[in-house]
Structure formats: C-alpha cells, structure tokens
Structure 1
Amino acid sequence: MMQKKNRAFLKWAGGKYSLVEHIQARLPQANKLIEPFVGAGSVFLNTQYKRYLLNDINPDLINLYNFLKAQPDALINDARAFFCAERNQEAMYYALREEFNQTKDEYYRAILFLYLNRHGYNGLCRYSLQGRFNVPFGRYKKPYFPENEMFIFSEKSQKATFTCLPFEQVFTRARRGNVIYCDPPYAPISKTAAFTSYASKSFGQDSQERLAELAAITSKKRGIPVLISNHDLPLTRTLYKGADFSMLSVKRSISQNGAKRQPASEILAYFPPAKVLPKKRKRTRNTLQFTSVVPSSNQQP
C-alpha cells in the first residue's frame, strides 16, 4: 500500500501527482531512480528508492532544489516574506520579475523563482528565446506558501543528487541496478498545442526521437530499465515500438482556457532490461590441460 501522497511545492505544467500510483506500479525495484526530466518532483516524492539522480535542463529549478537541500531553514524563512499582500500586486510582481531576470545572485534567484511560480499566471514556467522569464501576473487572491511541502522535499532530497544537464548525458550516468523514469515535454496533440518552453531551449521531434532511441539502447544493450510518460499518439507508439504500453487518461490541470481542460490519453512505455551476460574469459584447451598437470610454483612439495 502506498503511504500518504506528498505534493510538490511548485506548480508545474504536466505534474505527475495524480498519476504517481500508476507510475509507481510500473517502476521496478532498483538501488537508484534516475529522472532526466524531474520537473516538480512528484515521482521522486512518492517513491521509496535508496538514492536518486534528479536532473532538469532548467538551471533555475535545479538552483532552487540545491539551496532547499543545503539550507532549508534559511531559504524557507526568507521566501516566506515574499508571500504577503504588498508583493501580491501587479506592479510589484513585474518589478520582482525584472529583478529575477537581472540578478546574478543565485540565492536571491532561488527565492524569486519560487515567488514567480506561485504568483505567476497558472503556475507556468516560460522563458523567451533570450532566456528571460516572461509569465504574466496571476491575479490570485492569496497565493499559497508551501512551507510544509518544502520541508518534506528538503528532507527527502538528502538522498538525491541534482544536476542540470542534457538528458543524453544523464543516461550515460546510469548503471546496472538503476532504473530511469522519463517525463519529457510531451509530443504535441496538435500543431498549436506544443508547449516546450520550460527552459529556453525547445524539445522538438528530433529530441523525442533521440530519447526513444536512447531508451531502447539503454534497456537492450546495458540492461537498465526505462519508463517513459507521453501523450498516447500514433507518433509516440511508433517511437516506442517494442516497449510494454500502459494507457492512462488524465485531466489537464494547467490550460489557458479552463473550459478546454479535457481528459487526454497518456501512455506509459516500459522498456524492460535485457539480460546482459558478463563477458567470460576465454581459455583454450591447451591452457586447461597445462594448469591441470603442472603444479603452481608457490605450492609446497
């Protein structure tokens, strides 16, 4: 039975809180869970592995996680001051958003990233091509300060290493006995539905293809299981050919038009680990005959 579910402290498009039971059921036992696209971390928070390698291409996200892991009391205390009526005003929001885009102070940037996530429109995380955070003001009556969720994340993160690398490099860090769970930016249902701006670099079809290829190679040639979430589309079924499929239906929680939040079909593609036999040392027949007849030089007569 699953323990009480833990919510992520960030709002996140495509967050997996509502699907963690299904994902957990498909994840095999392992000594480490590797997530190349950790996002808000719902799978991390609701699984019980000994160790975690959690990666995301968004440096602001990983920066916040590292500070929360290292100094939770200070970060939470300092961030709390930004959740007040004075800072929940449009002019103040845009002034702080500009400070975020200008500052090089990583600690201050971590606090502002949390502030923008909770005060910005629909909890979106979006950047311009120049790398500037550009989500508009959210107009919430009283944004929630996720203090308890942050402490839970910080405590669990003592088992985790956070990295900010391309997903291809994260796969190279996997070893036998690990399992990889991938929650990439989803393949678009339609040409107008593409949303790949979690970081300033997009995740297009070529990236989808590389991920699928890496998953197949990692499971077949390295014996490391890989599980991938995505939309259930002809494209993804083709890309993940040879995987074991599980179908899900999920109601979208982040959409520009609330009336259009329709259930969408999702797929879990599981690439089981092939048995990789250890390389055996070759021994010739003559060698076997030699070692069975002649005693070792350090044997006693």
Structure 2
Amino acid sequence: MKKNKHRAFLKWAGGKYGLIEQICQQLPDGRKLVEPFVGAGSVFLNTQYDRYLLNDINPDLINLYNHVKQKSDFYISESRKLFTSANNSPERYYAIRDEFNQTSDTFLRSLLFLYLNRHGYNGLCRYNLSGGFNVPFGQYKAPYFPEPELEFFAEKAQKAKFTCGSFVDTFRRVRKGDVVYCDPPYAPISLTANFTQYAKTGFSLDDQLLLAKLAKHNAFKKQATVLISNHDTSFTRDIYSRSNITKLMVSRSISQKGDKRLKVGEVLALYVPFRE
C-alpha cells in the first residue's frame, strides 16, 4: 500500500478509511481483489492489485461507478455544476431529491446521487419501502466537491469490473488465488436491543451465517484468501471460529448528532487457503 492514503469521493457510513492500515496488513499479495460489498471503495483505493471485481447490491452506486469509469471528465464537469450555493438550501435539496426519485435516466441519477451524498444528512444512503431516496437535508455550510478523489477513482477504476448483485453471486466468481475482502452490514452488537432496526437493513442473521460459510468454503476448497470485517460479538466470534481473528477497537458515533463517540470492538476474520 502507498504511504499516502486515498479518500473515497463518497461519504459513507461504516467506511473503512480509518482502518486501512489494519486491513491491508491482513491482505496478502495477489493478482485480483474481490469485494462483494464495495461501498465507498476505500480498500479498493488503497491497495495495489492488478485487477478488481467490485460488487454492491445498490444499483445507484454501481451505476455511478461505471459512469465515472467510462466518462470521467464529462461526469466531473457535469456534477460540479450542482455544487453551488444556490443549490445548498432545503428547498433545492428536496427538489433535487424528488428529481432523483422520479428519473430513470442512469447518467442523471449518477450526477444527482453524488449531490445527495454530499448535501444529505451524514452522507447516509437510505431508501424507503417504495425505493425512494429519503435522506433529509444535511445543512452543511459549503459541501465539498471531491474532484481530486473523483479523478483518482476514475484512473484506478480502469483496473476494475463493477457488478451489481448479491454477495452469493460474487463468491461464485472467485477463483483460486483470488483475495476477497468483505465489509457486510454489521451484525448488531446486541441482538435483543437492535434486532428490529437490524432486520430493516435486509441483511439477516442467516445472511451472516451464509457469508461465514462461503468464506470458509472459498478458502478451504477454492484456495482463495478471504477477510471479513464485523462487530466483535459472541455471535461473530462463533460463526468465524474457523478463521484467524484479529480484534480491534474502533471509534464510533453513538448519537444522532454525532457528537458522542465511544470505542466499539470489531473483528477482522481471516480465512487462509488450506484443505481440511
């Protein structure tokens, strides 16, 4: 990894920029990195592989990445036009959010997605049950237009293939010698306290179990290396029992205002290639 860390051009809840050093220490050399849950792409941006397979279940995210990859100069010039003081108001934000929710034009959606990400509350990406983006206005003084980050992403994206699908489908494409990094929706710290909210993410406890099973299978049978990030709980330590576990303490916001932070335990579960 280069000494200079590269930030993603999107703000992203649970982004891995702050843990890049610890994650990269666990990732071995290889020709291809596979990410079934790419999110904002901090691990992609801060590793040096010949090829990348980057997947996410969110079609707006993958659509955005493909447009940045294929027409970066035009994308940057067009998206920059949205970052004006006149557009930084609740009235304009909600009008643009409505436009995003009503259009099916993929390029326009990619432009508006970046605007919403930078002007919306806390950079959240959230949709209602009807599929409408519903993050409220963020009330920032002057939202940052991430031009250098976009340029770096666009250049590096030439080595990447972006796909939109399930993590199961992505694991089917893993081959011998591949390196896989998984940053799934985290398991709840307390199952009883957080289960209702947790279930709304669409990533169930059964999904957590299936991911652990696929990680073990791909390491032991396909001879790939798989690394998973998650909360440090008795549940995750149990389902990752066949891995090498590294424990971390990570600073996390614990209030809506974002002004209260505490250290939360996380694990990096590493599955290395060997046969049972």
Aligned residue number for residue 42 of structure 2? 42
Q: For the Cα contact (< 8 Å) 2:253–2:259, is it kept in 1?
A: no
Match of 1:141 in 2: 141
Q: Number of paired residues? A: 274
Q: Given the two structures, how large is their TM-score scaled by the length of structure 1? A: 0.87
Instruction: Indicate if the aligned counterparts of 2:254 and 2:260 stay in contact, CA closer than 8 A.
Output: no
Hey, what's the Cα distance between the residues in 1 that align with 2:227 and 2:153?
Answer: 23
Amino acid in the other structure paired with 2:13: A
Q: What SS does the corresponding residue of 2:34 show, helix, strand or coil?
A: strand
Q: Tell me the distance in 2 between the aligned counterparts of 1:201 and 1:123.
A: 17
Is structure 2 residue 117 aligned with structure 1 residue 117?
A: yes
Task: Determine helix, strand or coil for the equivalent of 2:40.
Answer: coil
Runs of 4+ in 1 over 3 A off after TM superposition: 191-197
* Pairing of 1:126-165 with structure 2 (within 5 A): 126-165=126-165
Give the root-mean-square deviation of aligned CA atoms: 1.7
Matching residue of 2:176: 176
User: Percent of counterpart pairs with the same letter?
Assistant: 57
Mapped contact 1:14–1:254 kept (Cα < 8 A): no
Structure-2 separation of matches of 1:153 and 1:252? 26
SS of residue in 1 equivalent to 2:259: helix
- Report the Cα distance in structure 2 between the residues aligned to 1:196 and 1:83, rounded to whole angstroms: 33
CA distance in 2, matches of 1:192, 1:11: 27
Distance 1:145 1:118, change over 3 A: same
**1:269 to 2:269 alignment:** yes
Unaligned residue ranges in structure 2 (runs of 5+): none
Q: Which residue in 1 is equivalent to 2:64?
A: 64
Distance of aligned partners of 1:102 and 1:192 in 2 relative to their CA distance in 1, 3 Å threshold: farther
Distance 1:193 1:133 in 2: 23
For the 8 Å contact 1:100–1:109, the answer to whether it is kept is yes
Partner of 1:287 in structure 2? none
Cα distance, 1:165–1:43 mapped onto 2, change above 3 Å: same
Structure with max Cα Rg = 1
How far did residue 259 of structure 1 move?
Answer: 3.5
The corresponding residue for 1:246 is: 246
TM-score (norm 2): 0.95
Q: Aligned partners of 1:156 and 1:193: how far apart in 2?
A: 38
How far apart are the structure 2 equivalents of 1:70 and 1:192? 44
Conserved 8 A contact 1:222-1:274: no
SS state of the match for residue 143, structure 1? Answer: coil
Aligned to 1:53: 53
Cα deviations across residues 203-246 of structure 1 (Å, max 9, x unaligned)? 11111111011111111111111100000000100111110011
Report if aligned partners of 1:122, 1:254 keep a CA contact under 8 Å in 2.
no
- For structure 1, the 5+ residue unaligned runs are 277-301
Find the counterpart in structure 1 of residue 22 from structure 2: 22
Q: CA deviation at 1:275?
A: 4.8
Alignment of 1:226-241 (within 5 A): 226-241=226-241
- Asked if 1:31 is matched to 2:31, the reply is yes
Summarize deviations over 1:69-105 as a string: whole Å, max 9, x none: 0000000100001111111010110111011011010
Distance in structure 2 (CA, Å) of the matches to 1:63 and 1:201: 21
Distance 1:189 1:239 in 2: 14
Aligned-pair distance for 1:142? 0.4
